[in-house]
Amino acid sequence: MPQRRRTRLGLSLLTLILSSQLGLSPAALAQASLPIEVRQGYDQIQRGLVLQAITTLEQAVRRYPNSAAAQLGLAIAYRRQGLDEKALNAYERVVQLDPTNETALRGVGLLGAYRPAWQQRGIRALSALLERLPNDQSARRQRANLYRFSRNWAQAAADYAILLRSNPDVTLLVEAAQAYNWGGGYPQALELFERAQELGQVPRGDAALAYGNSLGRSGRLPEATEVLVTLIRQEPVNSPRAENAVALLTGLYADRNDQEGLLRLYAQLLERSPDNANLNLAYAATAYSLNRITPAQAEQVLDTWLTRAPQSNELPAALYTLVAQLPPDLAREDLYQALIRRNPNDGRIAERYAQALVAQGPQQAQVRVEALANNTPSVTTYLLVGRVSQALGNYDRAAAAYDSILVQNSRNLDALLGWAQSEAARRNFELARQLYSEAQGILAQSSNPDPGRQIQIDRGLTAVLRGDGQPQAALSQLEQLQNQTALSPDQQADIQREMQDIEQGFLLQRGFQPPWERY
């Protein structure tokens, strides 16, 4: 082919891009003064000579650093060669030179989906484009997806709401449903999932995870269980998605305090995967809380998990639950410390660690936690100081430790409740009552309050009432608490014993001998 003919064909890519950017006709573009290297680079891209185009356009960029056309051509060449990071940087250099360049803004938006670290860059570029072109559906959809990938659910839902107004395809319905679900809009999510299913799109993969969550959060636990168990069976054993589905089911059953149902679910899943370390751990934690297995059996499962657990950056919630339930044991000191480092906000582990230290030697325990707090001051180490000091009756030191935590975070329930217990123990009932009330207010503001925390507050207030000489009020508090569905069998038994103790006190005051003491 003659050189002139080939060049004319090769310039079609350049003509198309520049005409869209500058609003010029092809005839006007023919008169545009562009460096020969830039024209040659676009010609090479058009002919599929991408590596040669990169070399040519890199030279052009060095020679003409302020040429948006040269930078744009280089970005396109990098993109076609799969050099995504270089392409992203080149597109952003185009935007610096020409902030309204649509091709570059779209390029940054597209590449923003390639890596989590690039998502915000993509969102910024698409937001700039949408300011000029608010009706650009493709740009808005890409931004909605980036918001969804980065877990900005409210922003994602706002974009999807606009997109859903104009005859959405089934894929868009599923994408929007996932955003609504994780943002807490369960009715909207279910409506969209059901519309997608009417069009033949059954939720799969991550969409099934979101669909199961929406069903469960809407009170449709049997349907949620069916969806999520099906997903688990479709996934490879120990895959991240399968683990997420198990964790989601655990949360749904826990919210309803259906420990029996959860135990049956784990047993069902273990039939398929008897060697699944995380499932065995979750089963043991639940079975132990229901007194179905002994401490020795639970410890055996824990030891097996520690030696055979799958490598993961995330530790299963069941590990924290089981370790917090087992009796304190300083032989697990390394495990306590590791769990505290990974999740400094889990006060249950700090409490067990403190109990283990105190059991070994009270004074030594105080020295060790003080040294730990001095060397690595943190919420967790201060919590350890508070727990140990409280156990040893050093209430002033405990109060100071808890106060140090609350200075950093006034809503820390572990510190508030620990301090309240300390004040009640030294009969400072008014301050204890104030601290419990403050904790109650924080819990009431939570979108998903922990029933275990509510039980802890109620038991604490009961102790304050009894200590303050108000047994009748304490008994009424216990009667209300007894009706809570979140109580474990052990907690039910403890409450029953405490109620019996209060009633026995009433009888003794009146000179009667309780019937259970007559024989």
H, E, C per residue of 24-49: CCHHHHHCCCCCHHHHHHHHHHHCCC
Give the residue ranges of DSSP H helices in 326-428.
333-342, 347-360, 362-375, 379-391, 395-408, 413-425
Place of tokens 């132990």: 288
Q: What is the DSSP-derived secondary structure letter of residue 512?
A: P
For residues 439 and 455, what is the distance between their CA atoms, to the nearest angstrom? Answer: 12
- For the four alpha carbons of 348, 351, 357 and 361, in that order, the dihedral sign comes to negative
For residues 284 and 297, what is the distance between their CA atoms, to the nearest angstrom? Answer: 8
Beta strands in 26-170 (DSSP E): none
For residues 365 and 354, what is the distance between their CA atoms, to the nearest angstrom? Answer: 8
Q: Is 329 exposed, middle or buried (0-12, 13-18, 19+ CB in 10 A)?
A: middle
For residues 101 and 307, what is the distance between their CA atoms, to the nearest angstrom? Answer: 56
What are the C-alpha distances in Å from 343 to residues 299, 412, 439?
21, 14, 21
User: Up-side HSE of residue 81: CA atoms within 13 Å toward CB?
Assistant: 20
For residues 270 and 286, what is the distance between their CA atoms, to the nearest angstrom? Answer: 14
In the chain, the domains with their CATH numbers are 343-431 (1.25.40), 450-510 (no CATH)
CB 91, CB 111: distance < 8 Å: yes
- 277-289 and 317-325 helices, crossing angle to 10°: 40
* Cβ count within 10 A of residue 270: 15
For residues 283 and 302, what is the distance between their CA atoms, to the nearest angstrom? Answer: 11
Place of tokens 């058009």: 46
Amino acid 310: pLDDT: 64
- For the four alpha carbons of 125, 128, 129 and 135, in that order, the dihedral sign comes to positive
Token pair, residue 471, equals: 């047994």
Tens-binned pLDDT, residue by residue, of the chain (519 aa): 444 444 444 445 555 555 454 433 344 344 357 889 899 999 988 898 989 999 999 999 999 999 999 999 999 999 999 999 999 999 999 999 999 999 999 999 999 999 999 999 999 999 999 999 999 999 999 999 999 999 999 999 999 999 999 889 999 999 999 999 999 999 999 999 999 999 999 999 999 999 999 999 999 999 999 999 999 988 887 788 988 998 899 889 888 878 899 999 999 889 888 888 889 999 999 999 888 999 999 999 999 999 887 666 678 889 999 999 999 999 998 998 888 888 877 778 888 888 888 888 877 888 888 888 888 788 888 888 998 898 889 999 999 999 999 998 888 888 999 999 999 889 998 998 999 899 989 888 876 677 778 888 888 888 888 888 888 887 887 777 777 666 667 777 777 787 877 777 666 655 555 454 544
Please state the pTM of the whole predicted model: 0.70
For residues 474 and 464, what is the distance between their CA atoms, to the nearest angstrom? Answer: 8
* Cβ count within 10 A of residue 504: 15
For residues 245 and 206, what is the distance between their CA atoms, to the nearest angstrom? Answer: 9
User: Up-side HSE of residue 518: CA atoms within 13 Å toward CB?
Assistant: 5
For residues 412 and 4, what is the distance between their CA atoms, to the nearest angstrom? Answer: 75
